[in-house]
Chain A
Amino acid sequence: MSVLCGVALSASAAQAPQHINIKQFSTTVEDVVVPLPNEIFGALNKLGTVNWKAHVRSDKGPNFTERPRIALLLGTVIADGFIAVQAEDAAAVKDIGQRVLTLAKGIGVGDSITPHAKAITEAADKRNWENVRRELDRTQNSVQQAMNEVHDEKLSQLVSLGGWLRGTEVLTSVVTEHFSADGAELLHQPDLLSYFQTRLQAMPEFDVPILHQIQDALVAVKPLIDVGDRSIPPESVKKVKDITTRVGRGIVTRD
């Protein structure tokens, strides 16, 4: 490790061109690493104090049998874990850790989660929030890797989507309460939204109403956040909040 510290200090980057033509890269990597909710929450925190406790949600919610619904809910619950960490609510974090484990078992990937759920509980007991954040990321990654290994990539994408929707719901809720242009700018994620749209369109076999509602929601959200260099106004933030809250309610509620 110290060798690399030395490397960082002694080695400098070769001169990179100041401008490039992005379009020349026909070999763009298609894989998308979806930002974690706390990546957005961290940026939001720097804009002012947020009452994270108001957004903590740790109720058990319903048990679904449809795998796509479980996957969506799982992503949402992991995002709730990040919110509970922001609020430094150890009890909620522990409840969420157990809920994640139950949901993961529901889609057959419980084994890969058990050590992380244990680590989340231990870190929450010690109020070691950095470790809880890391374990939540590991949890999501392990769930998705386990799904990918059994060729359930689509369920894996639904986990990411569930997390993104819950993160966006909370982001818009916070920014609606205390509007700032910088806070609203955090919604500027059109490529990520397009990525989710494309993935959802490739899941015709998952014929569950909530996925159709999410597709419609993404269509409605896109023009509100795809504004180029312009600012996202308070009305748009409010609209995105209403849309994502409605969809979020659908994810945690039985049809």
Chain B
Amino acid sequence: MNDFAKILLRTGVLLLALLAFHRSATASVDDAQSFALQAAEPYVKQGFQVREDYWGGDLGSGEKKAVRQQLFKGNEYWFWLGTEVDKAKVSVHVYDSDGKLAEQPDGWEKGHFAAAHVIPKATGSYFIIVSVEESPEERTHWALVYGFR
């Protein structure tokens, strides 16, 4: 390999490393939100109004967080969780204020997407438990959006 090729190779490797660093440094909750919204998209056709507002943050592998939300009996809700870390595994589950599982059985998890379906039996506060089950990153951004009809 001549000197020019070596320099080219080293520069290329450096650029790739910089790109990877930049990507991880600039990845944000907003990126996670776009994935959560992607998960929600098919449900809009079913008449769900997806809220513009959302919750977000970052979690380590195996960590959970609780989000409290007011739900109204008579409505039907879906909560969608997403992260931009595509090798992460996330989950979301919904409990009532007594800590009893309150979701329908058709919730789903697939890698960096997860969703939970709730038809509240009572009007009041519910707890949505978001979790990063596994992730190659030390901290993983997450975003949770919800829709209702």
User: Which positions in A face B, CB cutoff 8 Å?
Assistant: 1-2, 4-5, 7-8, 10-14, 16-22, 25, 27-29, 31-36, 38-40, 42-44, 46-47, 130, 133-134, 137-138, 140-141, 144, 182, 185-192
Contacts and interface: CB of A to CB of B under 8 A. Distances in A.
A188 B123 contact: yes
Contact of A46 (B41, B53, B66, B74): B74
Nearest to A189: B70
Contact of A31 (B41, B55, B123): B55
Given A7-B108, A13-B93, A36 B127 contact: no
B68 interface: yes
In this complex, the interface size class of chain B, counting residues with CB under 8 Å from chain A, is 35 or more
A29 B122 contact: no
B74 A43 contact: yes
B74 A47 contact: yes
A32 to B, nearest CB: 7
B66 A25 contact: yes
A12 B68 contact: no
Contacts of B66: 22, 25, 27-29
Contacts of A22: 66, 95, 97-99, 127
Contacts, number: 140
B68 A28 contact: yes
B73 A7 contact: no
Contacts of A12: 107-109
13 contacts: A8-B108, A11-B109, A13-B108, A29-B67, A29-B68, A36-B51, A39-B72, A47-B74, A133-B49, A138-B52, A185-B122, A186-B72, A189-B123
A209 B22 CA distance: 50
A137 B53 CA distance: 9
B53 A25 contact: no
A46 B41 CA distance: 24
Contact of B101 (A2, A8, A18, A21): A18
